[in-house]
Amino acid sequence: MSQHNNHLETKLIHGAQRGETQTGAVNVPIYLSSTFHQNSFEEFGAFDYSRSGNPTRQALEEKIAELEGGTHGLAFASGMAAISSALLLLSAGDHVVVTKDVYGGTFRFVSEVLKRFNIDHTFVDLTDLDEVSSAIKPNTKVIYAETPSNPCMNITDLPGLIKIAKANNCLTFVDNTFMTPLYQNPLDLGADIVLHSATKFLSGHSDVIAGLAVTRNQELGDKLAFIQNSFGSILGAQDSYLLLQGIKTLGARLNQSSNSAGRIAEYLNAHSFIEEVYYPGLPTHPGYELHKEQSTSSGAVLSFKLPNKAAAKAFVDHVRIPVFAVSLGAVESILSYPATMSHAAMPKEERELRGITDGLLRFSVGLENVDDLIADFDQALKVAEKEADSGVTVS
Ligand SMILES: *Cc1c(COP(=O)(O)O)cnc(C)c1O
């Protein structure tokens, strides 16, 4: 049966593979087997050893390849394992151009690990394509993007960036964690590898740490599969199963969370105590038009700026519904404080240049009733504002 023309919400659930063919079980079984018996001395079966391939992991890998429209899907032990493995396609003497808003773990891998292997990098503001062009050197092999970026939701013009990459014989890697294949398909726009922290929206329940990569063509897929097997940082069968289950509900979860995020962004934007709201769905966002051209939704993550650290602290202390934690993309709303959480390692001046001020909070919208979330924000902001006016902490 061809599922080719179905919408992504349908493909999330059915797609090319359907449960298990021998028994009709609707869920892919968890194959807890490290090794596989070979029936014949001379001809081996599809699987031999689970680092190289496991049927549960393969079902997940085929699923993400189908959703992103690539030739190969590959599942890794974490988002960082997927990203690091993809960057291991580079060789000593190569150079990579990386967005300066890149995820902290990727920043660390590029600047502290790749560097030791003589793989050089330049961090660039990817919202400025002229800056990208001038950063390219004769040995540049990869341009690495993240859009929207974290936490200020800067938008990169993907078709424009990919055009520059192609003109210079570079590959384009895109971390698509924030949008997921539901809202943005970088391979369709010409990117070469799409990467995911599947820990976030794809799994969606704050239970699994996982990473996924999808390649544009067979050659890159074979190369990355070779690295996956050589480096060995694969996703286990049980986590592969949990992630497959999470992916089935991605449509329902992310659509609801994104609708709520739009409402919350508007609420915050109209609030006099909030200095700035960063959300690509607001017409005032500098990347609003660009994002609309390359994505089908603004997503479920936004950031907002309170006047200072004391106000941010008062807000966090008084808000009741969200979890205060790192990470994002879960059924529970997650509030985080980039200055001391995701971007703690960055010097204060560097942080502030990127808009990560002491009053900035990031909010990943979950599946709670949006009116409850807004009412909760409203009462917490009232306290924060009162404290700011009086200089006294309300307990
Ligand atoms: C969380 C995250 C990562 C890292 O993924 P892990 O699963 O934590 O290793 C990479 N990129 C983005 C955008 C992320 O949010």
Q: Is 209 in the pocket of ligand 1 (CB under 6 A)?
A: yes
| Structure tokens given for 199 | 């820990």
Residue 341 lies inside a defined structural domain of this protein: yes
Q: Which pLDDT belongs to residue 1?
A: 42
Token representation of residue 48? 């031999």
Q: How far apart (Å, rounded) are the C-alpha atoms in residues 17 and 190? A: 26
| Pocket of ligand 1 contains residue 177 by CB under 6 Å | yes
CB atoms within 10 A of CB 206: 17
Do 240 and 104 fall within a single domain?
yes
Atom of ligand 1 at shortest distance to CA of 209? 7
CA separation for the pair 252, 9 (Å, rounded): 8
Among 248, 283, 304, residue at a domain's last position = 248
> Helix or strand or coil: residue 115?
helix
The pLDDT value recorded for residue 16 is 64
Do 116 and 173 lie in one domain? The reply is yes
Which residue numbers in the chain have pLDDT < 50? 1-2
pLDDT at 24: 87
Instruction: Return the ligand 1 atom nearest residue 327 CA.
Output: 1
pTM attached to this predicted model: 0.96
* HSE, side-chain direction, 13 A CA sphere, residue 279: 31
Provide the β-strand partners of residue 303: 278, 362
Same-domain status, 89 and 125: yes
Q: Same domain, yes or no, for 221 and 276?
A: no
Which residues are marked as active site? 51, 103, 175, 200
| Atom 4 (ligand 1) nearest CA | 79
**For residue 241, what are its two tokens?**
């199963």
Q: What is the pLDDT of residue 23?
A: 87
Residues 270, 163, single domain; the answer is no
118: alpha, beta or left? (left if phi > 0; alpha if psi -120 to 50): left
User: What are the beta bridge partners of residue 277?
Assistant: 304
| Alpha helix ranges (H) inside the chain | 8-13, 55-68, 79-87, 104-108, 129-135, 158-167, 180-183, 218-231, 237-248, 250-269, 288-294, 309-318, 348-353, 370-390
Instruction: Provide the number of structural domains found in the chain.
Output: 2
What's the CATH number where 46 sits? 3.40.640.10
Question: Can you tell me the distance from the alpha carbon of 116 to that of 262, in angstroms, rounded to the nearest whole number?
Answer: 43
- What's the confidence (pLDDT) of residue 2? 47
Dist. CA 103 → ligand 1 center (Å):
7
Domain end, chosen from 248, 271, 297, is at 248
Domain range enclosing 162: 3-248
The alpha carbon of 285 and the centre of ligand 1 are apart by a number of angstroms equal to 24
Predicted local distance difference test score (pLDDT) of residue 43: 92
95 lines ligand 1 (CB under 6 A): no
Query: Cα(70)–Cα(189) distance, rounded to whole angstroms?
Result: 12
Say how many Å lie between the CA of residue 271 and the centre of ligand 1: 31
Residue 120 φ then ψ, to 5°: -95, 160
100: in domain: yes
Does one domain contain both 174 and 107? yes
Please check whether residue 395 lies inside any domain of the structure.
Answer: no
Domain closes at, from 221, 248, 275:
248
Give the nearest ligand 1 atom to 82 CA. 9
326 CB less than 6 Å from ligand 1?
A: no
150 lines ligand 1 (CB under 6 A): yes
Identify the CATH number of the domain in which residue 290 sits: 3.90.1150.10
Ligand 1 pocket check for 200: Cβ under 6 Å: yes
Determine the angle formed by the axes of helices 370-390 and 309-318, rounding to 10 degrees: 130
Instruction: Tell me, in angstroms, the distance from the centre of ligand 1 to residue 35's CA.
Output: 30
